[in-house]
Amino acid sequence: MAAVFVTGGAGFIGSALVRQLLAESPYDIVNIDKLTYAGNPESLDGCVADPRYHFSRTDICDRAALDALFAQHRPCGVIHLAAESHVDRSIHSAGEFIQTNIVGTYTLLEAARAYWERLAEPARDAFRFHHVSTDEVFGSLGREGRFAETTAYDPRSPYSASKASSDHLVRAWHHTYGLPIVVSNCSNNYGPRQFPEKLIPLMILNAVAGKPLPIYGTGENVRDWLYVDDHARALHLVFERGAVGSTYCIGGNAEHTNLAVVDTLCGILDELHPRAGGGSYREQKVFVADRPGHDLRYAIDAGKITQKLGWSPRESFMSGLRRTVAWYLANHDWVAHVRNGEYRRWLETHYGSHP
Ligand code: NAD
Ligand code: TYD
């Protein structure tokens, strides 16, 4: 069966997508991932034994390595998730974001174009380059309104500006060279296997470790939360059935302030893992200096993907959050390994040094 490239498949969303594609599609999956601090092969434990799963530790900025992978596997499409993904890191050090998100996407587009231009019909017509992006490219909302496919771009953080650049490159490769692309822009994801620098896993792990729960500014900022498996299902649909050249906005219809998210998490933890000394985890909340340029509110109108492709989220925010808390409570080893320098050294010996 035809192969599909998934870039960033050892990351949070990529690993959920790889698991779902192996379970629910006939494709061979070629996971192309550099294994940065955010990439963890343990997130794919259940996949490694599957003969349809292939892994290549490759940087998407490495054109020669990408050309060799296209020649070897002859994929029918690419689902591109590899990226630097954390806003706070982009504020402190934007260089890797420019490199991977912009230069890496450009390099992957050029490798895909060179391969695609030599394909004969019907493979050429059927080929898809699916670029996975974020709602943060649209900027920040006030109290009213939602982002949709027609919203003008207005990125404000180094992360969102680098993702906006990559979205523009992908669309330009369609308009200029005819590369058959689709783009999706999704709201904040949460779920198992998210690196504990992001709000939800950070709060769960800090809470049970007895550490402070740092809330930026007033905690009134709003995000629209989507369970990661719902996003993966949307990606599968957009890849297979999205109209060439089109964009699809994906969102959870689950807007919550950061303060409400942390309070809800604390409530779930109080029930599933009561505090050793009694009292509620809410007592560990602290308000800290705000993130520079902190976007006030994100929210997605997912009407187009619902109407055109029949997608809607299956997980409610409460059920998804309970699953997520339970997963982090039960998976200490995964957490220890992603945080632990010794594990990074083990990775170097098993997967080779960084390309
Ligand atoms: P993540 O940080 O968990 O994973 C990123 C993966 O990309 C890692 O496995 C990493 O090793 C790999 N990678 C990084 N640089 C690479 C390079 N140069 N070459 C090859 N691989 C490289 O990210 P995530 O949260 O899973 O996000 C995946 C994608 O989805 C990103 O493109 C992100 O912008 C987008 N997105 C994320 C969210 C969210 O809430 N997390 C929401 C919408 C869109
Ligand atoms: P994050 O998970 O970093 O995602 P993004 O910035 O891409 O939306 O943050 C989600 C929200 O939580 C965002 O408004 C910033 C806030 N936040 C905190 O208040 N404290 C924290 O320690 C973190 C990591 C985030």
Choosing from 90, 162, 258, 298 the residue with most ligand 2 atoms within 8 A of its CB, the one to mutate for a pocket test is 258
The answer to whether 147 and 209 are in contact (CB under 8 A) is no
Beta bridge partners of 33: 57
Going by C-beta distance under 8 Å and a sequence separation of 6 or more, which residues neighbour residue 254? 224, 225, 226, 313, 316, 317
Atom of ligand 2 nearest to the CA of 262: 19
Q: What pLDDT does 354 receive? A: 47
Beta bridge partners of 28: 3
Read off the tokens for 352.
């080779």
- 228-284: per-residue pLDDT in tens? 999 999 999 999 999 999 999 999 999 999 999 999 999 999 999 999 989 999 999
Q: What pLDDT does 352 receive? A: 65
User: Domain with 89 in it: what CATH number?
Assistant: 3.40.50.720
The answer to whether 159 and 85 are in contact (CB under 8 A) is yes
Which ligand has an atom closest to residue 81 CA? 1
Q: Whose CA is nearest to atom 21 of ligand 2?
A: 199
Q: Which domain holds residue 304?
A: 3-351
How far apart are alpha carbons 146 and 151 in whole angstroms? 9
CB-ligand 1 contact for 284 (6 Å cutoff): no
Choosing from 19, 30, 31, 36 the residue with most ligand 1 atoms within 8 A of its CB, the one to mutate for a pocket test is 36
CB-ligand 2 contact for 205 (6 Å cutoff): no
CA-wise closest residue to 119 among 56, 53, 179: 179
Q: What pLDDT does 355 receive? A: 40
Q: Record the pTM.
A: 0.97
The answer to whether 175 and 241 are in contact (CB under 8 A) is no
For 332, counting Cβ atoms within 10 Å of its Cβ (0-12 exposed, 13-18 middle, 19+ buried), the class is exposed
Number of folded domains that form the chain: 1
For 305, counting Cβ atoms within 10 Å of its Cβ (0-12 exposed, 13-18 middle, 19+ buried), the class is buried
Q: What pLDDT does 344 receive? A: 76
Read off the tokens for 64.
């020669």
Count how many Cα atoms sit within 13 Å of the Cα of residue 220 in the half-sphere of its side chain.
Answer: 5
The answer to whether 35 and 10 are in contact (CB under 8 A) is yes
Q: What single letter denotes the amino acid at residue 18?
A: V
Active site residue 159: yes
Q: What pLDDT does 281 receive? A: 98
Q: What pLDDT does 340 receive? A: 82
Give, in order, the Cα–Cα distances in Å from 70 to each of 285, 293, 310: 49, 40, 32
Residue of 27, 106, 115, 159 marked active site: 159
| List of the chain residues with pLDDT < 70 | 341, 352-355
- 188-241: per-residue pLDDT in tens? 999 999 999 999 999 999 999 999 999 999 999 999 999 999 999 999 999 999
How far apart are alpha carbons 116 and 174 in whole angstroms? 12
